[in-house]
Amino acid sequence: MVNPVQMLGRSALTFFERLGRAHLFLMDALWGFFSMVMRPRLLVQQLYSVGVLSFLIILISGLFVGMVLGLQGHYILSNFGAEETLGVLVAASLVRELGPVVAALLFSGRAGSALTAEIGLMKATEQLSGMEMMAVDPMRRIITPRLFAGILSMPLLAAIFSMMGILGGYFVGVGLLGVDEGAYWSQMQSKIDFSADIINGVIKSFVFGVVVTWIAVFEGYDSIPTSEGVSRATTRTVVHSAFAILGLDFVLTALMFG
Partner 1 sequence: MNQVDDNDILVRVRDLHFQRGTRPIFSGANIDIQRGKITAIMGPSGTGKTTLLKLIGGQLKPTQGAIEFEGENIHQLSRSKLYKLRRKMGMLFQSGALLTDISVFDNVAYPIREHTNLPESLVHHLVLMKLQAVGLRGARHLMPNELSGGMARRVALARGIALDPTMIMYDEPFTGQDPISMGVLVQLIKLINDALGLTSVVVSHDVQETVSIADYIYLVSGGVVIEHGTPEQLNASTSEWVQQFMQGLADGPAHFHYPAETYLDDLQAGVK
Q: What is the 3-state secondary structure (H, E, C) of 104-157?
A: HHHHHHHHHHHHHHHHHHHHHCCHHHHHHHCCCCHHHHHHHHHHHHHHHHHHHH
Residue 40 Cβ vs partner 1, minimum distance, rounded to whole Å: 16
Angle between helices 200-221 and 144-170 (to 10 degrees): 140
Residue 116 Cβ vs partner 1, minimum distance, rounded to whole Å: 16
Residue ranges in contact with partner 1 by CB under 8 A: 125-127, 129-130, 132-137, 141
Residue 108 Cβ vs partner 1, minimum distance, rounded to whole Å: 23
19 or 134: whose CB is closer to partner 1? 134
Query: Distance between CA atoms of 123 and 119, rounded to whole angstroms?
Result: 6
Element (H, E) at 187: helix 181-191
141 or 236: whose CB is closer to partner 1? 141
Specify whether the CB–CB gap between 140 and 35 falls below 8 A: yes
Taking alpha carbons only, the member of 115, 149, 124, 160 closest to residue 41 is 149
Residue 11 Cβ vs partner 1, minimum distance, rounded to whole Å: 18
Residue 125 Cβ vs partner 1, minimum distance, rounded to whole Å: 6
130 or 175: whose CB is closer to partner 1? 130
How many CA atoms lie within 13 Å of 97's alpha carbon, on the beta-carbon side?
14
Residue 202 Cβ vs partner 1, minimum distance, rounded to whole Å: 33
Residue 132 Cβ vs partner 1, minimum distance, rounded to whole Å: 6
139 or 147: whose CB is closer to partner 1? 139
Taking alpha carbons only, the member of 14, 19, 69, 84 closest to residue 240 is 19
13 or 60: whose CB is closer to partner 1? 13
110 or 141: whose CB is closer to partner 1? 141
Query: Distance between CA atoms of 171 and 63, rounded to whole angstroms?
Result: 10
Specify whether the CB–CB gap between 219 and 233 falls below 8 A: yes
Residue 24 one-letter amino acid: L
129 or 189: whose CB is closer to partner 1? 129
